[in-house]
Amino acid sequence: MTSYIIRRLFMGVVVIFIVTVIVFLFIRLLPGDPLTIYLNKTDMQQLTEEQLQELRVKFGLEKSLPMQYIDWMAGLFKGDMGQSIYYDIDVRILMTERMPVTLYLGALAFVISGVLGIAFGVICALKRGTWLDTLVTLLANIGVTMPSFWVGIILIYILSVKAGWLPVSGYISPFEDFWESTRRIIMPVTCLALFPVASLTRLTRSSMLEVIQQDYIRTAWSKGLKERLIVSRHTIKNALIPVITVIGVQVAFIFGGSVLIESVFNINGIGRLATQAVQNQDYQVVQAITLIMAIMVVIANLIVDISYGWLDPRIRYE
C-alpha cells in the first residue's frame, strides 16, 4: 500500500512536470507580447528601446525559453511563483487572495454533486419506470447537455433581473456576511454542480440497475432480507465502484467550470484570474494557476484510486 502510494505520487510528479512544460510553451506561443499589454494599461507607450529592455530584464523575458523555464522551476522550489507582469505583484499574493474563493465554491459544488448525484441515482434505480424516475432521468439528460455558463446567464436573467430574488453577481466572503455570501453563491454553485450532479445521477442509476440484476442480489433476496437492507448493504457499495471513478474526474471538471462561471458571475477567484491572465498574457499567473489545478487533480485521482480498495476488497495494490 505505502509503496503503491509512493509510486503513484512519483507518477503524479511526472504528470505535473509534463503539464508545466506544455503550459509554459503554449502560453508563449500566443501572438503578442505581455509587455505591450502591461504598457497599454499603464499609459507608458512612449518608452525608449532601452527602457523596454530594462522591463524585459525585470521580468526575466530577455532570456532564452529554456532559461526562462529553468528560472521558473528554480523559483518554485524556493516557494517563489514569480512576478505577475500585468499586476506587477508577487503571484503568491494573487493566489492567496483568489484561491480560497474558488476552493470554497468548488468544494461546495463537489460535495453537493456527490451527495445529490448519488442520492438521485439510487432513488431513480429503485423507482425504476415510475414518473419520478422518468422525470429525474429527463432532467439529468438535460443537465448533461446544457452548457453551464449558458445556464448561468439564464439563471441571472430569470432569478435576478426578472424576479429580483438574488443579486446579479459578485462575491463576498462567508466570514464577512454569511447570508449575503450564501445568496450570492447560490447561482454560481448551482451552475458548477449542474453537470456533475446530472452525470453522477445517470451513472449511479445505470450502475445500480446493473447491480440489482446480479446473482448475489438474488441470493440476498433468497435469504429473506428486507429491501432496505438489500439496498444499503448489498447494492450501493457495489454500485459505487464505477461512480467513484467519475467523482475523481469531477474535480477537474469543477476547476475547469470555475473558469467560465467566475467570469459569468464576476467572482474574483482563480478561474476568472486565469481567463484574465490568458488575455493579458500574464505568463507567470497562467503557469501558477495551471500548476495548482494540475496538482489538485492528481491528488484527487490518487484519493479515488485508494478509495477503490476500501470499496472493493478484490483490489490489491501491488
Partner 1 sequence: MSLLSIENLKTYFHTYRGLVKAVDGVSFNVDEKEIVGLVGESGCGKSVSMLSVLQLISSPPGEIVGGKVMFEGQDLLKYRSKSNMMNSIRGAKIAMIFQEPMTSLNPVLTIGRQLTESMEVHLKMTPQMARERAVELLRLVGIPDAKRRLDAYPHQFSGGMRQRMMIGIALSCNPKILIADEPTTAVDVTTQAQLLELMRDMVDRFNTALIIVTHNLGVVARYAERIYVMYSGRIVESGLADEIFLEPRHPYTIGLLKCVPQLGETRQERRLEPIKGLPPNLINMPPNCAFLPRCNYAIDRCNLEPWPSLKHVGGRHYVACFREILEKS
Element (H, E) at 207: helix 178-212
Cell numbers at 260, concatenated: 467560465
Kindly state whether residue 169 participates in binding partner 1, applying the rule CB under 8 A.
Answer: no
Kindly state whether residue 127 participates in binding partner 1, applying the rule CB under 8 A.
Answer: no
Kindly state whether residue 130 participates in binding partner 1, applying the rule CB under 8 A.
Answer: no
Sequence-separated contacts (24+) of 135-144 with Cβ below 8 Å: 136/201, 137/201, 137/202, 137/205, 139/198, 140/197, 140/198, 140/199, 140/201, 140/202, 140/205, 141/198, 141/202, 142/198, 143/194, 143/195, 143/197, 143/198, 143/199, 143/201, 144/195, 144/198, 144/199, 144/202
177 phi/psi in degrees, rounded to 5: -150, 100
Q: Which is nearer to partner 1, 144 or 209 (CB)?
A: 209
**Cα–Cα distance, 92 to 300 (Å, whole number):** 23
Report which of 63, 104, 101 is spatially closest to residue 82, judged by C-alpha positions. Answer: 63
Kindly state whether residue 122 participates in binding partner 1, applying the rule CB under 8 A.
Answer: no
Kindly state whether residue 318 participates in binding partner 1, applying the rule CB under 8 A.
Answer: no
Query: Of 19-27, 86-94, 130-138, 229-237, which segment contacts partner 1 by CB under 8 A?
Result: 229-237
In angstroms, give the least distance from the CB of 206 to partner 1: 17
Task: Please give the residues from 282 up to 311 whose contact with partner 1 meets the rule CB under 8 A.
Answer: 311
Kindly state whether residue 226 participates in binding partner 1, applying the rule CB under 8 A.
Answer: yes
Kindly state whether residue 7 participates in binding partner 1, applying the rule CB under 8 A.
Answer: no
Report which of 160, 126, 146, 241 is spatially closest to residue 197, judged by C-alpha positions. Answer: 146
Kindly state whether residue 314 participates in binding partner 1, applying the rule CB under 8 A.
Answer: yes
**Cα–Cα distance, 113 to 122 (Å, whole number):** 14
Kindly state whether residue 312 participates in binding partner 1, applying the rule CB under 8 A.
Answer: yes
Q: Which is nearer to partner 1, 41 or 233 (CB)?
A: 233
Kindly state whether residue 210 participates in binding partner 1, applying the rule CB under 8 A.
Answer: no
Query: Of 60-68, 164-172, 194-202, 228-236, which segment contacts partner 1 by CB under 8 A?
Result: 228-236
**Contact letters (x/-) for partner 1, 36-75, by CB under 8 A?**
----------------------------------------
Select the residue interacting with partner 1 from 83, 238, 250, 258 (CB under 8 A). Answer: 238
Residues interacting with partner 1, by CB under 8 A?
213-216, 218-227, 229, 233-234, 237-238, 311-314
